[in-house]
Structure formats: structure tokens, C-alpha cells
Amino acid sequence: MDEMTSVTVDDLASAHDQFRSERVNIVAKNAVSSNGITAAARVPEGVAANALTFDVEVKQGDRCDQQRSGRCWMFASLNTMRYRVIHRYDLKTFELSQTYPLFWDKLEKSNWFFENILDTLDEPLDGRLVSYLLMAPVGDGGQWDMFRSLVKKYGVVPKEAMPETACSRNTREMDSCLTRYLRGAAKRLRQSHEAGVCREDLEEMKKEMMGDVYHLLATCLGEPPASFEVRLRDKNDKLALSGTYTPQEFFASVVDMNVDDYVSLISAPTVDKPFGHTYTVSRLGNVIEDGGVRYLNLPIERLKECAVAQLRDNLPVWFGCDVGQSYLREEGIMDTAALDVDALFGFEVEGCMDRAERLDYGESLMTHAMVLEGVNLDAEGHPTLWKVENSWGADHGRNGFDTLSDPWFNEYVYQVVVDKKYLSDEERATYETEEPTVLAPWDPMGSLARAR
């Protein structure tokens, strides 16, 4: 036996003796094995610092619930938009349909997938790129820029105009069937290319395939309305809005939000992404004619400053983060001080890498989108605690709300979407004019679009 490369009996005996020699290890073992890591690492003093009272706060309607789907980015986007309708018409609450953009996103992602397959016909099937494209061609995830593309093309509708279905509430079966169909279609396109079929005929094959995709989606979600009737009553039960609209008309006249004014800021302090420059992710998007995503990478403090400025102007802020980290999910608390895993184990686990290293080594990426709706500020005007509207229903957290400590923001928030008026002149010019650096399809900054 090579004692330098193998785990030996002496190694095990030494580890056993060392573990048993400290009383704290036995206490930790009993606590964790009985209650789990999170419960045993919970710090009550940290939890107590997460009260739901805020210096700056926007008031939203009733909580929404994405249920068993990966539509967080859609819910977060729609929550920023419904806020405008609620306040413009003095409504108690209001929801925009989340099934409506789901239909169009699946359709557009399918077309995006087919175009990527046609673009990579000569790439090896077992190469990293094609294997990546086939891995999850039409998942539920997405990015703000992708939602902006959907809204510009298809508009929005009230929830009553296209309500939830069994397949929108739980997308797994629909996604599984659509994914299988798309992979089979990719096989047919590649085999036809190998057999000498010309590009024009392959494009015709794709058109027929897109008809099948529409059929599948309409079966699962219903067909999107071309027009619909609206009746909205305000808090005093007075009729505030009535009429017939197309989805595009409803977005333009009722939501009335210039989505092109809103830009994605990221904060990724890795060597491959110097601050002050723009980036895009290769082959990430949905609506072909509107292009992909675009980010401006800035220090985390700038993301906070822009978010606070928008909240002060009484508008919520879409953001993307790594939600599973240092998170007391049932209590709705994201706070590095509310959990002390390192003290529990007696060595660095959570503290073994910094923000950049977690991104580089695959330990952290964007997994969830939500909405910032409040913030507490210290005497110098710096944020200390953020109010978050989640999309997991009113039973989650505290009436559907979470809190996010500023140290947690430093570690695990990666993206905010704000009006470009909050950028400096230099930042705005960079975002609008600089040719973005193209990141690999599997870069962590694109991971939110790959979530289920």
C-alpha cells in the first residue's frame, strides 16, 4: 500500500481520535445528526437583525407563486411591471399572466435551439458545444434581457386572460416532452445534413418542426389570446379601467414601461471580466431577431447605489442571486450572520473561498431572480438590510417576503436591472457603445437562464 496516496488505517485512527478529543465535536455531531446542518448552525442573534421595517419601501400587491416551475425571472419581471399598474390605477392587487410569456418563451427558445443546431451542423456531436446545446434546450430559466425581448414582441396580458394550467404550475412533464421532441428534431436535422440535404430544405424542415412545437405548447398551456376584455376596480370598488386590448396595446398603454431604458448590471470580480466593460454570453437568448443578452460589469457597490436610487424613486428592482447560500428558507432570511456553518464544523467551509473564487471553481452562480422592494440605510446612507419580494407564495418567509443583509448582498447578489439614468455618463456610454466580450455558453453569469 502506498501510504502517501491511500487512506490508511493509521489515518482513520488519527482522525477518529482527533474528532473524539474535543467535546464540541460531539455536541455538534448530536445536533447536526438530529436536526440538520442549517438548524444547528442557525444564529438567533443574526436572525433577530432581520426585522421587516424599512427606511425606503415600495408597496406591492398580493404575493405571487411560481409553484413547481423555474419561472422566477418571469415572475420577478412581471412583479416590477404589475407594480406600475397597481399604483397607476390605485388597485388593491393585480397580477399579469405568467402563463402567457411562458408559452412564447418556450416557442422562441425552441426556434433559438433549432438555429443553434443549424449553425453547428459540422461540429462533432460529442464535442462540448453540441453536448451543451442538447443538455437543456428549453428549460424554464431566463434573463431580464430575454423577458424584455418577449414583451417587446408579444406584450403582456392580465392573469385572467391566460390563467395557470396544470402544465404551467408544474412544468416538468411539458419540459420533458418538449425536450425529447427537440433532441429528436436535432437528430433529424443533423442526419439530413449528413445525407446532403441543402440548407434551404433544412430551414423548411425547421418550420414544420416549429408547427409541432406550437401544437405541443397549445395542448399544455392553451392558446394565447389575440385580444381580451379588461375590467379593473380600484380600492374603493370604482371602475378604474375597462376596454378591449391586444397584448401589445395593454403593455404600451396600461403598463407603460420603456423596457429599453432598463439595463443589466452584473458584478463578477473574476480575472476574465474586468470591471467597466460589457459582456454577453454565447448562444444565450430566445427571440432570434432581438439578439442575446448584454451586461455591464461593475463593482458591487455600484449595483447597490443604483438599486437604492431606483428604490428612492419608488420603483422596485429586479435582481439575480445565488439563493441557496446562507439561507434560512423557511424564515425567509438571507444573511451570512444568521448561519455559522464554519463554527459548527470547526474549520472553514463557507469561508474557504471568496466571491471570485466561488465563481471560478463552480461553487456559486445565479440560481434565482427576485425583486428588491425596500432598504434600510445607516447614518451615511449605506444599505444595511434589503426587503425582497419572492415568488414562492404568501406562505413562504414572512407573508412571501424575505430579507437580505448587506453582507449577503456582497457575497451572493450578481445582477440588478435598473433604469440607465442611474448610471454615470461614462457607464452609460460603455453599455450602449462598447462591443461586448463574448463569454462561453456555460459561463456562470448565464446560469439563471439554465435553471429549471
- Domains in the chain: boundaries: 56-450
pLDDT at residue 1 greater than cutoff 70: no
Round to whole Å and give the CA distance between 20 and 183: 53
Per DSSP, helices labelled H in 89-143 are 99-119, 128-135
pTM given for the model: 0.95
How would DSSP label each residue in 204-263?
A: HHHHHHHHHHHHHHHHHH-PPPSSEEEEEE-TTS-EEEEEEE-HHHHIIIII---GGGEE
Mean pLDDT of the 276-297 span: 97
pLDDT tens per residue across span 2-39: 778 899 999 999 999 999 999 999 999 999 999 999 99
pLDDT tens per residue across span 396-424: 999 999 999 999 999 999 999 999 999 99
pLDDT tens per residue across span 327-354: 999 999 999 999 999 999 999 999 999 9
Round to whole Å and give the CA distance between 271 and 355: 12
Q: Which CATH architecture has domain 56-450?
A: Alpha-Beta Complex (3.90)
Three-state DSSP at 72 gives helix
How would DSSP label each residue in 312-379?
A: HTT--EEEEE-TTTTEETTTTEE-TTSB-HHHHHTS-SGGGS-HHHHHHTTS----EEEEEEEEEE-T
pLDDT tens per residue across span 181-215: 999 999 999 999 999 999 999 999 999 999 999 99
Mean pLDDT of the 154-179 span: 98
**Where does the pLDDT of residue 452 fall: very low under 50, low under 70, confident under 90, or very high at 90 and above?**
low
Round to whole Å and give the CA distance between 222 and 165: 8
Round to whole Å and give the CA distance between 405 and 384: 6
pLDDT tens per residue across span 51-63: 999 999 999 999 9
Active site residue ranges: 72, 368, 390
Round to whole Å and give the CA distance between 200 and 14: 69
